[in-house]
Chain A
Amino acid sequence: MRKIIFSLIVLLSMSYASYAQCGDDLLKQALKEMGESQYIKDYTIELVKDKKDTKTGYVKFSVVLQSRTQYKFNLANGDTNPEQIILQVKQGDKLEASNMHNGKLYNEFEFICGKTGVYNLLFSFKGGSEGCAKAVQSLVKQF
């Protein structure tokens, strides 16, 4: 019985840790990395496999991006994520920008938007692994 109680206490501690690694601290990290640009919005990404699935999918947010505007996206990964978060900026099916570029993953990137419209931000983890992340969208400058 003591073993059961010990196991439950471990489970309890793990659940606290799980919350801490995907909570406000992660947002604070992304905000700090945002630097001097002007905050617009933040996004929470939590991808967990369903029982029937072998991989996680993606989470999508729609956003209006304005022309002649330079945006920055900062990404903060949960401490225990096996893989890093991937962000794809798409308009319809067309990939406009991503933090995965030439096989390298970046924790931030800037996107100079030339056309006002509705864009989709698609977040996923490499290889469809589980994980959590926070992303901050900010304004660098306008032309």
Chain B
Amino acid sequence: MKITTEAGERHVLAITVDNEAGVLAKITGLFTARGYNIESLTVADITADHALSRITIVTSGPPPVIDQIIAQLDRLVPVHKVIDLADQGAHVEREIALVKVAGTGEKRIEALRLADVFRAKVVDTTLTSFVFEITGNSDKVDRFIALMRECGLVEVGRTGIVAISRGPEAV
């Protein structure tokens, strides 16, 4: 006997939760317990009184599994709202990466030139290194990092994505 797994499609979920201790562990624990994937996760509180947090999770799975993930999340006591941004029409996604490259001479100049093309900002520099800040969707960040590998990449930190629907309505 061999074990096979079903291919899935990518979904971005925006989850509004009470900003209380242990809520992130509850959400991630649900994903591991039920065998769901987390490809990216971001979290920060979003209200002036620090009462609510928004968690953005990128997950994947066949449609019935995505449906079940949303239902399971919605059932958790501290969860206020779960939105599948794919259901809300178009949405925008952004991610920040901090990318450190080290080197001198032509590679250093090429790194700066490519950063300019990608509209990455220099947020730290020494005579032998740069730290770039790049914002964009994950593909753009991936491509920038891939190019930097050729220009002396030494370290990367990425936030994971945040996402919001297009248009005037709040979801």
Asked if chains A and B come from one complex, the reply is no
